[in-house]
Amino acid sequence: MPLKNDLLLRTINGEKTERTPVWLMRQAGRILPEYRAVRNSLSGFKELVETPELAAEVTIQPVDILGVDAAIIFSDILVIPEAMGLQYEMVEKRGPHFPETIKSAADIKKLKVAEASDVQYTIDAIKVTKKELDGRVPLIGFAGAPWTIFAYMIEGGGSKTFSKARAMLYTEPELSHQLLQMITTSTINYLKGQVEAGADLVQIFDSWAGILSPTQYEKFSLPYIKQICDAISEVPKTVFAKDAYFARGWFGNINCNTVGLDWCMDIAESRALVGENKTLQGNLDPCVLYGSEASIKEATESMLKQFGPTRHIANLGHGVYPDTDPGKVKFFVDMVKELSANR
């Protein structure tokens, strides 16, 4: 099915476009009353993730309400460890929790390499979403980077330091590589399933990239991201590694099409490090959206000027925060459209 709005894909390809495309990380959910209405009718977050028709509904809401140039499938990065055999819970106001964690070789032996069919609910959600979008905008599939998934599987939940996960890299490096490879193969299978179901591009989220030293990142994260990017040849790939300032040059040399920037990364410096042949995505500070419309307009104009008119996908430097006024989010989207069209 041909896309009615292919602005995002043309920008990724380096084509000159009529304006800058815009979408937001975490746009599917949290800030929208329409999302909360669906979410509150269910037992919890996981039921929403695992119900294809409802996941499709909340995926499409931001396209209808905010006017963004892409949809991103509503799911969670932690579906992969669960598909591998490590169950997780989503605890209200606390986040993800793994009742069991990986501590030894014996624990790893209990796991399996996941197939796309082990996350069939997300595959089905993509199929439903594609049908209901009817070509209006591209659909983004996604997965967590292997290091980020590893960190949760070892730590058991969120953490400021992920000291248990980082310690394992030093104390059990061979075991760490074994688990990282299992996660990587599972992720490749999963993303290929997403693409086959209709995802137009995919994004790899390395949410905890910045807690590793450059040496450890180069050893325990980058090779596995590279492996995923090399394996997915059917659609464009975006890599977003939060706080990994040291990795931008490396991302310029791997087989991805777009590099996401967080709001603390200097735009000109990032362009120099990544190179001219990749698209950059980002990177407005999400807290800008708490400000006045005048300040949002000023910050958006500054961001667009720094990135320039080509090879830029407008986005926030991280996910939109849950207490952000949806009206301010819509204003940001509208400002990107208006200001970039007038350049």
Q: What's phi and psi for 277, nearest 5 deg? A: -95, 5
Q: Which residues lie closer than 8 Å to 64 by C-beta, 6 or more apart?
A: none
Gap between the Cα atoms of 55 and 328, Å rounded: 24
Under 8 Å between Cβ of 326 and 250: no
Report whether the peptide linkage leading into residue 283 is cis, meaning its omega lies within 30 degrees of zero.
yes
Residue 325 CB neighbours (<10 A)? 11
* Residue in 6, 69, 76, 200 annotated catalytic: 76
Q: Catalytic annotation on 343? A: no
Q: Catalytic annotation on 152? A: yes
Gap between the Cα atoms of 118 and 109, Å rounded: 18
* Residue in 10, 26, 36, 136 annotated catalytic: 26
CA angle 123/261/121 to nearest 5° reads 10
User: Exposure of 78 by Cβ count < 10 A (0-12 exposed, 13-18 middle, 19+ buried)?
Assistant: buried
- For residue 72, the cross-strand partners are 140
How does strand 201-206 pair with strand 89-91? unpaired
* Residue in 10, 36, 39, 136 annotated catalytic: 39
State how far Cα 87 lies from the chain centre.
Answer: 21
Residues composing the chain:
343
**Owner of token pair 């476009």:** 17
* DSSP class of 244: -
* Residue in 152, 217, 224, 245 annotated catalytic: 152
CA neighbor of 183 nearest in space, from 235, 259, 108, 260: 108
Q: Catalytic annotation on 26? A: yes
Gap between the Cα atoms of 212 and 101, Å rounded: 20
Gap between the Cα atoms of 167 and 302, Å rounded: 41
CA neighbor of 211 nearest in space, from 253, 267, 172, 154: 154
- The residues annotated as belonging to the active site are 26, 30, 39, 76, 152
